[in-house]
Amino acid sequence: MSTPYHVPALSVAPGKRFIPCYSPGELEERQLAGVRWTLAHALTGSPQYRAKLGDAHPGDIRTLDDVRKLPFTTTEDLRAGYPLPLLSVPDTEVLRVHASSGTTGKRKVLAYTRNDIDTFAFQMARCYELAGLTPADRMQVAVGYGLWTAGAGFQLGCEKFGALTIPVGPGNLDIHLQLLQDFGTTCIGCTASMALLMGEEVERHGLLKNLKLKRAIFGAEASSAKMRAAITEKLGLEHCFDIGGMTEMYGPGTAIDCEAHEGLHYWADLFYMEIIDPETLEPVRPGEIGEMVVTSLRKEAAPLIRYRTRDLSRFIPGECPCGCTMPRHDRLLGRSDDMIIFRGVNIYPGQICDVIQHYPELGGEYHIELTREGARDFMLLKLERGANVSADGDDALAGRFAEELHKALLARAAVEIVDPGKLPRSFGKSKRVTDLRLD
Ligand SMILES: [Zn+2]
């Protein structure tokens, strides 16, 4: 069904093949048009959105600040509409579905029209261009294919971009190493932990001289500076990039860092982003950490209106030295469900990880215990000492760490250094916080 609202065609900057270049005013115009179109489209096509949006009208969105008048969409809405949540087109127009690896209950499934698949490919092709690839590159894909968006996105985008794709999927380290050598692969898409494993194998078997790898694109998990340095060395890379993405917003490729590596450029003509305080639901101050909330600007099958991603990040202000005008956000700093409120300050485990990165004497594992005495909260932070580091310096190290943490978080914690391997290991959902304040 058509509405009087339209979204402008995607624009490409002079000298680029996929990446756009807008003045701030132009970008805002496009975002406004996209929000109005999305609202009209959702109201026309989706009974689920009609019930949710009440008497909202596209004409009420006069500035981007007006987006805040709209209600949030959440993962509960995705589950409620299973198997085709938020569907805003006739189901005969749905060409494809993908799902996220949701942890409990029904998976989050998202539908795609033909145009959605094309935008998805475009989104990824832009990422390859920003990562400095050319059609002469050879891209080996080591992320999951199937129901997940990762493999599909890397593949679609690469074909759109015009480079050779070698679709291997995750695991199969031996096959990967073989193909890296046989095809002269120049770029690999994988998780950072897989790249590290690969790098260790390459080192063990002395294969570096047979490789032509130059770049790696890491999806799914945020990589630490320590990890990236190790991977770069072991695989002989020039650059590694973190790519952002979510199934709700087509899949991978919503954002990627450029060669300046000062944050991830995100495609603000494909979605409008707000960053909110997950407690108050109000926008955070510029540069502060909060939850990313996205409104899609041209998604047809399952548009997003103020979708709460639960992912934490912050806007990075200013212009990027690379010249790309697309705005930037920081890498992911955790999940809003993991947020702690301590003495009135919002604290995210990702901020503690950031401080740990500055200390080569530390192993990286940590645990937070929160207690309450009277009306006052206390935090005990346990950190694992690095392997082969003497315990003699523990007290001084704890003191220095507590000072730096105070500067970074504006909160005081007691710091204790413990032996390597002492803290519980957890995979998946973080078990790094024990909150005893209500006991
Ligand atoms: Zn840049």
State in Å: Cα 61 to ligand 1 middle.
30
Q: Residue 102: its pLDDT value, please?
A: 59
Of the pLDDT bands very low, low, confident and very high (cuts 50, 70, 90), residue 333 is: confident
What integer pLDDT is reported at residue 258 of this predicted model?
A: 97
Task: Please give the residue that has the higher pLDDT: either 333 or 18.
Answer: 18
Residue span(s) of the chain under CATH 3.30.300.30 come to 340-435
21 CA → ligand 1 middle, Å: 12
pTM for the whole structure: 0.88
Once rounded to an integer, what is the mean pLDDT over residues 245-257? 96
pLDDT at 104: 54
Ligand 1 midpoint to CA 138 (Å): 23
First to last CA, the chain: 55
pLDDT at 1: 54
Question: How many angstroms separate the alpha carbon of residue 318 from the centre of ligand 1?
Answer: 11
Task: Using the mean position of ligand 1's atoms as its centre, give its distance from the Cα of residue 133 in Å.
Answer: 15
Q: Mean pLDDT over all residues of the chain? A: 92
Cα–Cα dist 19/209, whole Å: 34
The whole-number average pLDDT for the span 90-99 is: 96
> Residue 424: is its pLDDT beyond 90?
no
The pLDDT > 70 percentage for the chain reads 96
Distance 127 CA to ligand 1 centre (A): 11
- Indicate the burial class of 252 (C-beta count within 10 angstroms; 0-12, 13-18, 19 or more): buried
Q: How far is the CA of 28 from the centre of ligand 1 (A)?
A: 20
Q: How far is the CA of 217 from the centre of ligand 1 (A)?
A: 15
Q: Which fold has domain 340-435?
A: GMP Synthetase; Chain A, domain 3 (3.30.300)
Query: Mean of the pLDDT values across residues 296-313?
Result: 96
Q: Mean per-residue pLDDT for 52-59?
A: 94
Distance 316 CA to ligand 1 centre (A): 11
* Residue 236 Cα to ligand 1 middle (Å): 23
Give the pLDDT band (50/70/90) at residue 425. Answer: low
> pLDDT per residue over 370-394, tens digit each?
999 988 899 999 999 988 899 999 9
Residue 4 binned pLDDT confidence (cut-offs 50, 70, 90): confident
Instruction: Give the mean pLDDT of 390-419.
Output: 93
Ion ligand 1 residues within 5 Å by Cβ: 258, 260, 320, 322, 324
- What pLDDT band is residue 427 in, cutting at 50, 70 and 90? very low
pLDDT of 222: 66
Q: Provide the pLDDT for residue 296.
A: 98
pLDDT for 169-220, tens place per residue?
Answer: 988 899 999 999 999 999 999 988 889 889 999 999 999 999 999 999 998 6
Q: What is the mean pLDDT of residues 39-55?
A: 96
Gyration radius from the chain CA atoms: 23
pLDDT at 428: 40
Tell me what pLDDT residue 341 has: 86
pLDDT of residue 411: 85
Express each pLDDT in 116-163 by its tens digit.
Answer: 999 999 999 999 999 999 999 999 999 999 999 999 999 999 999 999
How many Å lie between the centroid of ligand 1 and the Cα of residue 261? 7
Task: Measure 257 CA to ligand 1 centroid, in angstroms.
Answer: 7
CA of 320 to the centre of ligand 1 (A): 5
Give every CB contact of residue 139 below 8 A, 6+ residues apart in sequence. 128, 133, 154, 158, 163, 164, 165, 166, 185, 186, 187, 188, 189
Band of residue 429 on the pLDDT scale cut at 50, 70, 90: very low
Q: 105 falls in which pLDDT band (50, 70, 90)?
A: low
Q: What spacing in Å lies between the alpha carbon of 324 and ligand 1's midpoint?
A: 5
The string of pLDDT tens digits covering residues 57-66 is: 999 999 999 9
Give the Å distance between the CA of 419 and the centre of ligand 1. Answer: 40
- The Å distance, Cα 325 to ligand 1 centre, comes to 8
Instruction: Give the mean pLDDT of 318-338.
Output: 91
CA of 403 to the centre of ligand 1 (A): 32
CA 23 to ligand 1 centroid distance, Å: 15
Measured between alpha carbons, how far is 192 from 149 in angstroms, rounded to an integer? 18
> What kind and span of H or E run contains 125?
helix 114-130
Kindly tell me if the per-residue pLDDT of 165 is higher than 50.
yes
Distance 262 CA to ligand 1 centre (A): 7
Crossing angle for the helix pair 192-205 and 225-235, to the nearest 10 degrees: 40
> What local confidence, expressed as pLDDT, does residue 354 receive?
84
Does 3.40.50.12780 match the CATH number of domain 1-336?
Answer: yes
**Residue 68: half-sphere exposure toward Cβ, Cα within 13 Å:** 10
Taking the centre of ligand 1 as the mean of its atom positions, its distance from the CA of residue 258, in whole angstroms, is: 5
CB 236 within 8 A of CB 206: no
Give residue 71 CA to ligand 1 midpoint distance, Å. 32
Whole-number percent of the chain with pLDDT over 90: 76
CATH 3.40.50.12780 domain position(s) in the chain: 1-336
